[in-house]
Amino acid sequence: MQEPLVSILIPFKNTEDFIADCLDSIISQTYKNWEMIIVDDYSNDNSYHIVNAYAKEDERIQLIKNSGKGIIEALRLAFETSTGHYITRMDSDDVMPENKLEVLLNNLLNHGKNHVATGLVAYFSELGISDGYKKYEDWLNHLTTTGNNYSEIYKECVIASPCWMLHRDDLLAIDDFQPNRYPEDYDLTFRFYKADYKIIPSNEILHFWRDYQTRTSRTHSNYAENTFLDIKLHYFLELDFDASRPLVVWGAGLKGKTIAKNLVEKGIPFEWICDNPKKIGKAIYDQKLKPFTDLEKINRPQSIVTVANPKAQIEIKAYFKKQEMYSMTDYFFFC
């Protein structure tokens, strides 16, 4: 029986220092029936020539130039060019453990369509990993070991952008890479959630994520925090907002203000609460800030929580539990 073809989609731009490591890790995979569609997004370093040399040696590697501009259009072109029944994405500055494709594919074959295979991730860097990235790694891996990734989807992207695989038909069913919405990996994860694709739990490290100062997610405006808030609110209003219930925003920091401003602009009424005595009673965007205990006066509220402090989040969760309110139904942490 013919082994299924896996298509690996890789956009790249100016990663000459790392791209050979990436390609070597793919060539070394234990699963051999793959094709690589690798798209150059207007590199001006030696990246294209490095990949071209590999493509001449391995017919499974197809190198093309982006006909549009940016990661989304590069991914779209790669997917349109691909022919595999199973699709995965890879970043050109990262590295695969040798069993990555084998494990992801076997998990999908065992579970069938309407599933997303993923795995644990590990950051690496010549300069060491910051506390922030280590916390993100631990948080993401904790979710992945149980497959409960969607339970905290409004906090951060809950599936690593270069560590997923799914059936081609499932990617087509959710409009693949057509939406021009950044961050593109977060948008895709929300569409997995919208389609109710089940996350297959994993306890294996299947991706090595390289961190360095000029990494795109650190430097490009498409990955700025305000973009994350826009996409969170977009999908919350589409998927989880119950218009029959009063909406509450908890928190009046920068994130709370951004959410409040967006709701005002959209004409969506809400109550605004916080636990900062200096802000209670003030009006911002013509919305008066009230003490958080006013939540108890509201019938069946649905709350967006924008408080980032970890200690405060624990206290807020305890407060909701006392009120018999539940995560992802009655309240949603946006940070």
State the CATH class of domain 242-333: alpha beta
Helix (H) / strand (E) element for 39: namely: strand 34-40
Please name every residue paired with 11 in a beta bridge, in sequence order, or none if there are none.
39
What are the φ and ψ backbone dihedral angles of 164, each rounded to 5 degrees?
-150, 160
pLDDT at residue 219, as a whole number: 47
Per-residue pLDDT tens listing for the chain (335 residues): 689 999 999 999 999 999 999 999 999 999 999 999 999 999 999 999 999 999 999 999 999 999 999 999 999 999 999 999 999 999 999 999 999 999 999 999 999 999 999 999 999 987 777 788 889 999 999 999 999 999 999 999 999 999 999 999 999 999 999 999 999 999 999 999 999 999 999 999 999 999 876 555 544 554 456 669 999 999 999 999 999 999 999 999 999 999 999 999 999 999 999 999 999 999 999 999 999 999 999 999 999 999 999 999 999 999 999 999 999 999 999 99
pLDDT at residue 215, as a whole number: 56
By CB atoms closer than 10 A (0-12, 13-18, 19+), residue 230 is middle
Question: Given 3-state DSSP classes, what are the helix, strand and coil percentages for the chain, each rounded to the nearest 5?
Answer: 40, 20, 40
6-223 and 242-333, same CATH topology: no
Distance, in Å, from the CA atom of 114 to the CA atom of 249, rounded to the nearest integer, reads 34
By CB atoms closer than 10 A (0-12, 13-18, 19+), residue 249 is buried
- What does the domain layout of the chain look like in residue ranges? 6-223, 242-333
pLDDT at residue 126, as a whole number: 75
Enumerate residues 6+ apart whose C-beta is below 8 A from 154. 232, 236, 332, 333, 334
CATH level 2 (architecture), domain 6-223: Alpha-Beta Complex (3.90)
pLDDT at residue 2, as a whole number: 80
pLDDT at residue 218, as a whole number: 47
Could you write out the DSSP letters of every residue in 94-117? Answer: -B--TTHHHHHHHHHHHH-SSEEE
Distance, in Å, from the CA atom of 38 to the CA atom of 63, rounded to the nearest integer, reads 5
Say if CB 296 and CB 240 are below 8 A apart: no
Please name every residue paired with 205 in a beta bridge, in sequence order, or none if there are none.
120
Picking from 234, 145, 122, 177, the residue whose alpha carbon sits closest to that of residue 9 is 177
48, two tokens: 């294209």
Residues in the chain: 335
Strand ranges, E, within 43-101: 61-65, 86-89
User: Could you tell me whether strands 164-167 and 115-118 are parallel, antiparallel, or unpaired per DSSP bridges?
Assistant: antiparallel
In angstroms, the Cα distances linking 309 to 75, 136, 161, 315, 333 are 36, 15, 26, 10, 11
Picking from 194, 283, 269, 265, the residue whose alpha carbon sits closest to that of residue 229 is 265
pLDDT at residue 214, as a whole number: 59
Q: Would you call the peptide bond into 183 cis, given omega within 30 degrees of 0 as the criterion?
A: yes
